[in-house]
Structure 1
Amino acid sequence: MKRLFPFLAVLAILASCKKDDDSGTAIEVRDPAEVEAENDADLVEYMSTHFYNYEEFENPPADFDYKIVIDTIDGVNADKTPIYDQVVTDEIYVESDDVTYKLYTLVVRDGDTEQIPAFGQRVVCNYEGTLTDGTVFDRTYNYPATFNTLSVVRGFGEICTRLGIGTGYTENGDGTISWNQDFGIGMVFLPAGLGYYSSSGSAYRYVNLIFKVEMLQYSDVDEDYIVVSSTTVSSPDGIPSHLEDVDGDGWPGNDDTDGDGVPNYLDADDDGDGIYTIYEYDKDEDGIPDDSNGNGIPDYLDPTYPVSN
C-alpha cells in the first residue's frame, strides 16, 4: 500500500513564524481568518468555473469506469452545470483557530446509505488528492488505503464520513479481490485550515485541496493508549473511538473530559481520576455505561467516582 500523505491533523497556530524544516528559512504563520477568506474566494471561483462528468454518472456508458473527471466550463462545455451549484456547504468551527471554515462536499454516488462510516472508524477506500491546478499530490494506486478517519486532515475525513460503502468484493482466486462497483463516490473542496495550513512538513501551505474518494468498507477501532516508562503502549478501553463523541457533534477530536490535552478517543483515563476507563466503563457487562453514584454521569467520565463513594 502506498504511504498515506494526508496524515497530519489540522495544526494549531502556535507562533507568528517558525523555521521551515526543508529550507532552514523562517516562514510566516498567517492569520487563520485572513487565509480562510482568501481560500474561500478562490474555492468559489474554481467551483463556479469547473464541472465534473455528472452526465456520465447519470447515464453511465457501457465502458464507464466511474471515475470523477473535472474540466473547465468553456467552449463546447460552456453549458455545463458548475460544481458550485451541486455541492453541499458546511461551516466547521475550529476552536484552536477561532475560525469557522467553509467546506464543500459533493456525493456523486451514495453507496449503501445504511452503512456510512463515522469519525473514529477505520475506512478502506481509494482516493486522490489534488490542488486546484490539477497537480496530484497523493493517491492510492494498486491497493486501497486503510486509515482512521480521525488520523487524516479534517476536510478529508469529512467526505469519508458522508459516503456509504459498497456491497463487498469478489475473490478472484489468485490472491486478489475485485470490489463490487456500487460503493459511494464523492469529492470535497477544502480550505487550508481544514487541510495542512502552514505545516512546515508540507509543500502545500495555505492552499486549497480537492479529494476524490471511493468508499469501500469500514470497521470499528479503539485507539486509547497509556504511557509506561516513557513508552506509549496501546490500551484499548473497550469503547470504539467513534463512540467517544461525548458532546454528540459528530467529531470526537474535541472531546477531552479531563482537560489534559488528549481527546477521549486517545485517552485511557477519560476523567483523569487515576482509574483506567476500561475498569469504569461497564463493570457489570450489561452493555450500558455504569453510573454507580446515580448522578447522571457515567463513572468513566465522572472524576468524583469513586472518590465520593
Structure 2
Amino acid sequence: MKIKSLIPVFLLTLGFMACNNDDDGGNTVEVRDVAEVEAEDDAELQLYLETHFYNDEDFQTPTEGFDYKIVFDTIAGENAGRTPLADQVETMTIDFQDVPHKLYYLIVRKGDEEKGESPALGHQVITRYEGSLTNGTVFDVSNVAVPFNLPIVNGVNGFNYIFPKLKTGTGKAENPDGTITWNQDYGIGAVFVPSGLGYFNAAQSGIPAYSPLIFKVDLLTFNELDVDVVLISRTETASSPDGIPSHLEDVDGDGDPRNDDTDEDGIPNYQDADDDGDGILTEFEYDADGDGVPDDSDGDGTPDYLDPDNQIGNN
C-alpha cells in the first residue's frame, strides 16, 4: 500500500492519496447528500471514540524496548475500566462543500516542548504513519520515514491538520549500518477523519466509499518547500521556485495557503510562479534589493509580487 500522487499537471508533486499498489485509482459511486453523510460519519466516529481506548499507560511509563506505537483496543472485559478516547480527543471544524465537518485528533505526545517546532501547511513533513478503517482494517502503512508535502491535495484533506498540532523531536542518529534512529521525543498523534475530509464517494482499494478514516502519525521533522510552477502551455509546466517558502504564502494568515490566489488564475500563490499575474515572475519582484523585506516600489502598501499595478519590474 502506498500513498500515490494524483496530480493535475500544474500541481506537480503536491497531490497525494492513499491507494493500493495497483494504482488503478478510485471507483466513484453515487454522490449522496453531504450533510446526511456527515451526520452518519460523526455518529460512527463518536461511537468508536466512546468504545475504544489507547495504550496511554505504555507512554506514561515506557518499558525498555517499547516501540512508541499507538495501539487502539475495545473497552471491554479486562479493559472495561480504561479511559475512552472520547475523553481524550480534541476537535476542530473543517468545511467540505459548505458543510461543517468535525475532525477529532489525539495528541499522545506533543514532541520536544523546548526545541521542537510545529510545521504549517506549506511545509514538507517527514513522518511514519498508519491508516485504518474504524473496523481496524489497515489500508496503508509506512514504518519508515516518508515525506509529505502539506497541504495534501486530491486526497485525505483531514490528514493535513494533525501535523501542526505536534512538534518535532531533537533529531536523529545515523547508525554504522546506514539506518537512522530518531530520538524518542518526536510528536505522536492520531486523527479521526470523516469521509468528507477523506475520499467521500470515491472508493479506493481497501477503502469503501463514505468511509471514516483513522491515521496514526509520528512527526519526525519537517522541511521548507518552494514548489511553484510556471505554465508553458495548457498541458505543459516547468518548475520555477519563486524564492518564497510555501508556508509563507498564506497571504490572509488563516493557516491555509490553498485559498490565497492573488491573480485569481486558479493556481494558489504557493504553487504559482507569478503570484500577481503581471507577467513578471515573483522571484524577480519579491526582494530584488536583497534586504530581506518584500519590495514595495510604488509605496502603496502592497508588495510588488502581489501588486499587478506595479510595473517597476518592466523598467
Q: TM-score, normalised by structure 2?
A: 0.87
Q: Is 1:7–1:153's contact at 8 Å kept on the other side of the alignment?
A: no
- What RMSD, in angstroms, separates the aligned Cα atoms of the two structures? 2.4
Give the CA deviation at 1:3.
3.4
The 1:236/1:247 distance shift into structure 2, 3 A limit, reads: same
Give the CA deviation at 1:5.
4.7
Q: Is 2:29–2:209's contact at 8 Å kept on the other side of the alignment?
A: no
Q: Deviations over 1:39-74 (max 9, x none)?
A: 111111110111101111112223321110001111
Q: Is 2:228–2:270's contact at 8 Å kept on the other side of the alignment?
A: yes
1:272-283 aligned within 5 A: 272-283=277-288
Q: Which residue of 1 aligns with 2:148?
A: 147
- What letter is aligned with 1:150? P
Q: TM-score, normalised by structure 1?
A: 0.88
Distance in 2, Cα, partners of 1:58 & 1:117: 25
Distance in 1, Cα, partners of 2:157 & 2:171: 26
Q: Which residue of 2 aligns with 1:288?
A: 293
1:227 aligns with one of 208, 211, 231: 231
Distance in 2, Cα, partners of 1:269 & 1:177: 39
The 1:200/1:75 distance shift into structure 2, 3 A limit, reads: closer
Q: Which residue of 2 aligns with 1:118?
A: 120
Match status 1:246 vs 2:251: yes
Q: Deviations over 1:245-284 (max 9, x none)?
A: 1111111111111111111111111112222111111111
Q: Which residue of 2 aligns with 1:47?
A: 49
2:208 aligns with one of 204, 221, 224: 204
Give the CA deviation at 1:93.
2.6
Q: Which residue of 2 aligns with 1:75?
A: 77
Q: Is 2:4–2:16's contact at 8 Å kept on the other side of the alignment?
A: no
Question: Where has structure 1 moved over 4 Å in runs of 4 or more?
Answer: 5-11, 20-23
Aligned-residue sequence identity (percent) comes to: 56
Distance in 2, Cα, partners of 1:49 & 1:57: 20
Please give the secondary structure, in 2, of the residue aligned with 1:28.
coil
Distance in 2, Cα, partners of 1:155 & 1:297: 33
Please give the secondary structure, in 1, of the residue aligned with 2:126.
strand
Give the CA deviation at 1:78.
1.2
1:59-208 aligned within 5 A: 59-94=61-96, 97-113=97-113, 114-141=116-143, 143-151=144-152, 153-199=156-202, 203-208=207-212
Counting matched residue pairs gives: 295
Please give the secondary structure, in 2, of the residue aligned with 1:34.
helix
For structure 2, the 5+ residue unaligned runs are 8-14, 18-23
Q: Is 2:105–2:191's contact at 8 Å kept on the other side of the alignment?
A: yes
Give the CA deviation at 1:112.
2.3
- What letter is aligned with 1:267? D
For structure 1, the 5+ residue unaligned runs are 12-19
Match status 1:262 vs 2:261: no
